[in-house]
């Protein structure tokens, strides 16, 4: 039986940490489920780790739909979330609906969008039409050029206050989950305690309801310098499934992220 959005929220309310990983194909989907991963995210991160681009921006909706279909074929239990790629939802709520409908038809149970208060009409439009939405605040890779690079967000009191306002507004508009990326751990904890939906951190400290990493990062197979919030779980593991099981165990126990992975 597939994990539902209400069941995921129940886990968070009861204090069970949520383990999420990115996934782009059927084989990894089955392996992750066997290792106990709760949520699979078909992320536009595929643009970097699969396609070899230097950002997520070149990923198309057609490509994201393809990888969602692949992942869904290997998945029976985990909640499956599909990213909406750059340019597939920013123009209007109607555009976002059309894109979301394609991703949902490919097998996703939820779509993820990046952005704050400007997204509120879109989130409301989608959720009123039966499309569950996961928000994304903090470092937003689709806005990397506007942000001036992959930098920690929410460091000033003003930025932190705006993020708190955006988080609550997104919840009020209907999101069922919120990803927090590359923000101070104290801010992430405050946000998690303040809002009524689960939070998933990536470089946001242990105070979130759960954690997510890009699968290539946590297996240590992405070239180049890894981000501070990444841990290579292949170290000491005898197999890929063993490494994923170690990740799930570390997330569930609160061992990961450790202080060295936080901002």
Say how far residue 257 (Cα) sits from the centre of its chain.
15
- Binned at pLDDT 50, 70 and 90, residue 206 comes out as very high
62 is catalytic: no
What whole-number percentage of the chain has pLDDT above 90?
A: 94
Per DSSP, the residues of the chain read: -PPPHHHHHHHHHTTPPEEEEE--SHHHHHHHHHTT-SEEEE-TTHHHHTT--SSSTT--HHHHHHHHHHHHHT-SSSEEEEEPPTTSSSS-HHHHHHHHHHHHHTT-SEEE---SGGGHHHHHHHHHTT--EEEEEES-GGGHHHHTSS-----SHHHHHHHHHHHHHHHHHT-SEEEEES--HHHHHHHHHHSSS-EEEESS-TTSSEEEE-HHHHTT-S-SPPPTT---TTTT-SSHHHHHHHHHHHHHHT-SS-GGG--
Look up residue 254 and give its two tokens. 């609160």
pTM summary value: 0.97
Residues 33, 102, 114, 181: which is the catalytic one?
A: 181
Total domain count, the chain: 1
What CATH number is given to the structural domain containing 22?
A: 3.20.20.60
pLDDT at position 46 over 90 = yes
If one counts every other C-beta atom within 10 angstroms of the C-beta of residue 179, the result is 26
Structural domain boundaries enclosing 223: 5-261
pLDDT in tens, 136-187: 999 999 887 777 778 899 999 999 999 999 999 999 999 999 999 999 999 9
Residue 51 CB partners (closer than 8 Å, separation 6+): 58, 59, 63
- Binned at pLDDT 50, 70 and 90, residue 226 comes out as confident
The residue whose two tokens read 């605040």 is 137
């Amino acid at each position: 039986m597939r994990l539902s959005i209400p069941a995921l929220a129940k886990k968070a309310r009861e204090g069970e940490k949520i383990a999420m990983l990115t996934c782009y194909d059927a084989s990894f989907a089955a392996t992750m489920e066997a290792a106990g991963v709760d949520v699979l995210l078909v992320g536009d991160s595929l643009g970097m780790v699969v396609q070899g681009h230097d950002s997520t921006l070149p990923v198309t909706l057609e490509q994201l739909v393809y990888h969602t279909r692949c992942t869904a074929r290997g998945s029976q239990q985990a909640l499956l979330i599909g990213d909406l790629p750059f340019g597939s939802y920013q123009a209007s709520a109607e555009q976002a609906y059309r894109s979301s409908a394609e991703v949902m038809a490919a097998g996703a149970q939820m779509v993820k969008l990046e952005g704050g208060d400007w997204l509120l009409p879109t989130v409301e439009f989608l959720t009123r039409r039966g499309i569950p939405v996961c928000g994304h605040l903090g470092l937003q890779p689709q806005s990397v050029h506007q942000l001036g690079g992959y930098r920690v967000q929410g460091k000033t009191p003003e930025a932190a206050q705006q993020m708190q306002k955006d988080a609550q507004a997104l919840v009020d508009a209907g999101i069922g989950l919120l990803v927090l990326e590359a923000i101070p751990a104290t801010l992430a904890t405050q946000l998690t305690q303040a809002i009524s939906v689960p939070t998933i951190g990536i470089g946001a400290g242990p105070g979130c309801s759960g954690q997510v990493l890009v699968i290539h990062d946590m297996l240590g197979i992405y070239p180049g310098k890894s981000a501070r919030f990444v841990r290579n779980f292949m170290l000491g593991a005898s197999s890929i499934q063993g490494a994923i099981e170690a990740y799930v165990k570390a997330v569930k126990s609160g061992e990961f992220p450790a202080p060295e992975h936080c901002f």
